[in-house]
Amino acid sequence: MKEKIVQTAGRDQLGDFAPQFAHLNDDVLFGEVWNEDAINVKTRCIITVVSLMASGITDASLTYHLQNAKAHGVTREEIAAIITHATMYVGWPKGWAVFRLAKEVWNEDQPAQTEKERYQRSLFFPIGEPNPYGAYFVGQSYLAPVSTEQVPVYNVTFEPGCRNNWHIHHAKSGGGQMLICVGGRGYYQEWGKKPVELTPGTVINIPAEVKHWHGAAPDAWFSHLALEIDGKDASTEWLEAVAAEDYDRLNAEN
């Protein structure tokens, strides 16, 4: 027998204040429309999530419908594909907002096994593989290509305490690098200047010919997108490691 959808939220929350609205919500919308036989409940859940997403609704009502979708068989892989597809039509900011809610709903019953797995689940970008430039890093880092066309973009992830050596992006004109922090907490420092703390949303513009380093805080994972800025005769010169006493001191100060 088909499961009957029953809803009482209208009467529970607005029965005394708006009884007609409560009736329309509980008896018509959920009592009749949601129980109509032409399409199954799983499909209705998907349609509802996409409709709310398109309308920019990302409050508790969307969380409820995401939970409802999960309860009626929408898998983690399916919801990721649904939100990604809808994002192409309704807008990138809406996709980001809905993914934040969906991750909470679908992750709650899948505990991570390692610190790396737990951190990965906090990111929208993959951690990737061990960094092939690891010889120029203190500690373990990872590299994942995000885009290799037009503007090269890579997600660089640092384990706690990991940082790269001092280095310079050379170019006769143009060049340099942009960093966009997407997870965790870290630092960026230019030679002769105070370090800057990096948290999600921090953007760092690095001109060519500036000696600098960046990496994780000692107690936190850290990830940034690295965008290579086009330049004439661009190259990277790797220099000495950041002195351990300097790294320890800046962390103590911060």
Tell me the C-alpha to C-alpha distance, in Å, between residue 179 and each of 16, 40, 86, 214: 54, 46, 28, 9
Tell me 229's DSSP state.
P
Asked whether residue 22 carries a pLDDT value surpassing 50, the answer given is: yes
Tokens coding 99? 């993914």
Number of H helices, E strands in the chain: 8, 15
Q: What is the mean predicted confidence (pLDDT) over 200-226?
A: 96
Tell me the C-alpha to C-alpha distance, in Å, between residue 75 and each of 30, 85, 139, 246: 23, 15, 36, 48
Return all residues near 152 (Cβ < 8 A) that are at least 6 apart: 145, 227, 228
Q: What is the mean predicted confidence (pLDDT) over 184-207?
A: 95
Residue 10 or residue 78, greater confidence: 78
Are the beta carbons of 153 and 217 closer than 8 angstroms? no
pLDDT at 253: 67
pLDDT at 203: 96
pLDDT at 149: 83
Tell me the C-alpha to C-alpha distance, in Å, between residue 26 and each of 18, 195, 236: 12, 57, 63
Q: What is the mean predicted confidence (pLDDT) over 142-153?
A: 89
Asked whether residue 250 carries a pLDDT value surpassing 80, the answer given is: no
Asked whether residue 213 carries a pLDDT value surpassing 80, the answer given is: yes
pLDDT at 199: 95
Asked whether residue 217 carries a pLDDT value surpassing 90, the answer given is: yes
Residue 143 sits at the vertex; the CA angle it makes with 139 and 144, to the nearest 5 degrees, is: 155
How far, in Å, CA of 33 to CA of 249, rounded? 64
Q: What is the mean predicted confidence (pLDDT) over 93-103?
A: 93
pLDDT at 108: 62
pLDDT at 1: 41
How far, in Å, CA of 153 to CA of 12, rounded? 50
Lowest mean pLDDT among 14-28, 53-67, 141-155, 164-178: 14-28
What is the three-class DSSP state of 230?
A: coil
Share of the chain above pLDDT 90, in %: 67
Tokens coding 121? 């689940």
Mean pLDDT, the chain, rounded, equals 90
pLDDT at 109: 56
Return all residues near 88 (Cβ < 8 A) that are at least 6 apart: none
Are the beta carbons of 215 and 186 closer than 8 angstroms? yes
Name the pLDDT band for 53 (thresholds 50, 70, 90): very high
